[in-house]
Amino acid sequence: MFGRVVELAERAALRAGPERALGLLHYFPERAFDAVRRARFQRTVRLAAARSPFYREQFRRRGIDARRVDDPSQLGDFYTTGDDLRAHGPDRFLVGRADTAFETTGTTSPVPKRIFFSRREISDMGRLSALWLHVLGLRPGDRVVSAFDCSFWVSPYVLRSGLEWLRCFHVEAGKIDPCEFYDRAAVYLPTVIFGEPSWIVRLSEIAQVRGRWPLKFLLAGGENIGEPSRELVERVWGAPLYLNYGQTESFGALGAECRMKNGYHRNDLHFFFEVANADADGYGEMVYTTLSRDVMPLIRYRSTDVTTLIDEPCGCGISMGRLGKIRGRCDEMVVCGMGNVGPWVFEEILRGIDGIGDDWRVAVLFDGPRDVVELHVEMEDPARVAAVDARVSANLRERFQDFQKNRDMKLYELRVRAHHLGSLRGGARKLRRVVDERQMLPV
Ligand SMILES: [Zn+2]
C-alpha cells in the first residue's frame, strides 16, 4: 500500500517540469524508493508468470510460486540471458501489445536480439532522460545535434522522446562521416552533441584541426571510452564529455554519469540491480530486472557487463546509488570503434583465406585515442602477411558493410599480424579469441 502511494507521487513528480520534478523527488526518503522498487518487482514477476509462456514454464520447472516472490533472491538460480531471447524469440516473452521494436547486434552470434516496447514505456524513459539531461545542464535554449545511428537502435528514439519534454532545438544527423558532420552541423550552431564515443573522438580530431564550436557538453552512448580518449575530447572542445550507460534490452537508461564522471547513477526506479558471482572487490556480472515494462519485461537479465554497485554518496550531491565503471564483458564480445564484435565476426572475415592456420586471436587496444583491432593469425610463412591483409580487407568490405563504414570514417584501425604456426595458443587448451586490452581507467 505504501509502495502504491509513493508510486503515484513519483508518477506525478515525473510529469511535472524537470525543475519541479527534481525538487519533489529530492524529498522522497530512500525507504520510499525501496517500497516502489519492491511493489514494482512483485507486479512484474506476477505479470510475467501470468502472461509470458517463457517465464511461466521456467517458474513451473523450478517450483517457483510467483505470488510469493517479492525479492530477486527468492528466484534462486533463475536468470534470463541473451541466448534465451534469441533461442525462444520475443513472442514467448510478450505480456502486452507492442508498439515498436529495436534490435541489438553482435554479441556472440550473428542473430540479433529483438526487443519490443510500448509508447507508454518510450514516454516514461523519455521523461526520465529529460530529467537527467536537465541535471547535466541542458535547457530549452540549447541546440542539440545528434549523430546516433538510427538503424534499429534504441538510443536516438529515447533521446528524441526526452528532448520533446525539454523542448529544445534538435537536428538528427544520423551516424554520418564525422567530416561531413563537421561541415553540415556547424550552420545549426550546436551547443550539445550526441554520438558514439569512437565517433566523437574522430569528430574531435577534426575539430582540433579545423576549429572548435562553443559547446556546453557532449554525451556519448553505445560503447565505453578510455579516459585518455575522453581527455582528448574535453581538451579539444573545452567542454565535458558525459557517458550514458544502457542496453537495447533495457531501453537505454540503466544509468548515466553526473558531473563527477565517476560511475553511472542508477535508474533505481525502473530497474532492480544485482551483481552475480561477485569477486572479493564486489565486481561481477550486472543483472537487472525491469520494473515498469508491460510489453516485454525482463527478469534477472544477465547484462554480461562486469561492474559493481556503489552506494556511498557521490560528490555531486545526488542520492541515487551508482554502477561502477564497466570493467569488461563476461562473454567475448567487445564494443569498440569497429562496432559490436565477437568471435563469429572474425571467423567470417577469415573464412576462405588460404595460407593461414586454424588458430587466431584478436586484441582490441588503443593507439592514441583510437581503437585498434589487431587480428593475429598463424602462417607457415609470416613474411607473406600482405596477401592475407588484402584478403581480410576485401572480406570485411564484402561481408560487413557497417564495420567497413566505421573503418572508412576512421573510427578504428584494423591491423593484421602474422605469427608462426602453433605459436598463438602457447600451450593453452582453449584460446581466448577476442580480448579487450584497452585500459579504460586512468593509470
Ligand atoms: Zn554523482
Q: How far is the CA of 360 from the centre of ligand 1 (A)?
A: 42
Q: Which residue has the higher pLDDT, 343 or 161?
A: 161
pTM to 2 decimal places: 0.86
pLDDT tier, 29 (very low <50, low <70, confident <90, very high otherwise) = confident
Average pLDDT of span 145-164? 92
Residue 277 confidence (pLDDT): 87
- In whole angstroms, give the CA distance from residue 271 to residue 288: 6
Interatomic CA distance for residues 58 and 195, integer angstroms: 39
pLDDT above 70 for 424: yes
Give the E-state strand segments of 42-142 in sequence order.
Answer: 100-104, 113-117
pLDDT value, residue 441: 52
CA of 293 to the centre of ligand 1 (A): 26
Q: From ligand 1's centre to the CA of 13, what distance in Å?
A: 21
Lowest mean per-residue pLDDT among 105-119, 147-161, 349-363, 410-424: 105-119
- For the cut 90, the answer to whether the pLDDT of residue 368 exceeds it is no
Compute φ and ψ for 442, nearest 5 degrees. Answer: -65, 140
Cα 387 to averaged position of ligand 1 atoms, centre (Å): 51
Q: Compute, in angstroms, the gap from residue 260 CA to the centroid of ligand 1.
A: 6
Q: Provide the pLDDT for residue 110.
A: 75
pLDDT above 90 (res 14): no
Residue from 276, 283, 269 nearest 319 by CA: 269
> Hey, what's the cell of 162?
526526452
- Section 355-375 average pLDDT: 91
Q: What mean pLDDT is reported for the chain?
A: 90
Closest CA to 192 of 139, 126, 257, 265: 139
Residue 263 Cα to ligand 1 middle (Å): 8
Please tell me the distance from the alpha carbon of residue 172 to that of residue 23, in angstroms, as a whole number.
Answer: 31
**What confidence tens digit (pLDDT) does each residue in 76-118 have?**
999 999 999 999 999 999 999 999 999 986 555 778 899 999 9
The three grid cell numbers given for residue 35, joined into one nine-digit string = 517500497
Distance (Å) from CA 133 to ligand 1 centroid: 13
* Average pLDDT score over residue span 222-241: 91
Q: Does the pLDDT at position 52 exceed 90?
A: yes
For position 413, what pLDDT does the model report?
96
Mean pLDDT over 120-127 rounds to 90
The set of cell numbers assigned to 293 is 515494462
Name the β-bridge partners of 290: 271
Question: Which of 143, 139, 191 has its CA nearest to residue 171?
Answer: 143
The CA 354 to ligand 1 mean position distance, Å, reads: 53
pLDDT the model gives residue 327: 80
Place of cell 544502457: 246
3-state secondary structure 275-333: EECCCCCCCEEEEEEECCCCCCCCCCEEEEEEECEECCCCCCCCCCCEECCCCEECCCC
**CA–centroid distance, residue 222 to ligand 1 (Å):** 20
Rounded Cα distance, 187 and 408, in Å: 24
CA of 114 to the centre of ligand 1 (A): 32
Percent of the chain with pLDDT over 70: 95
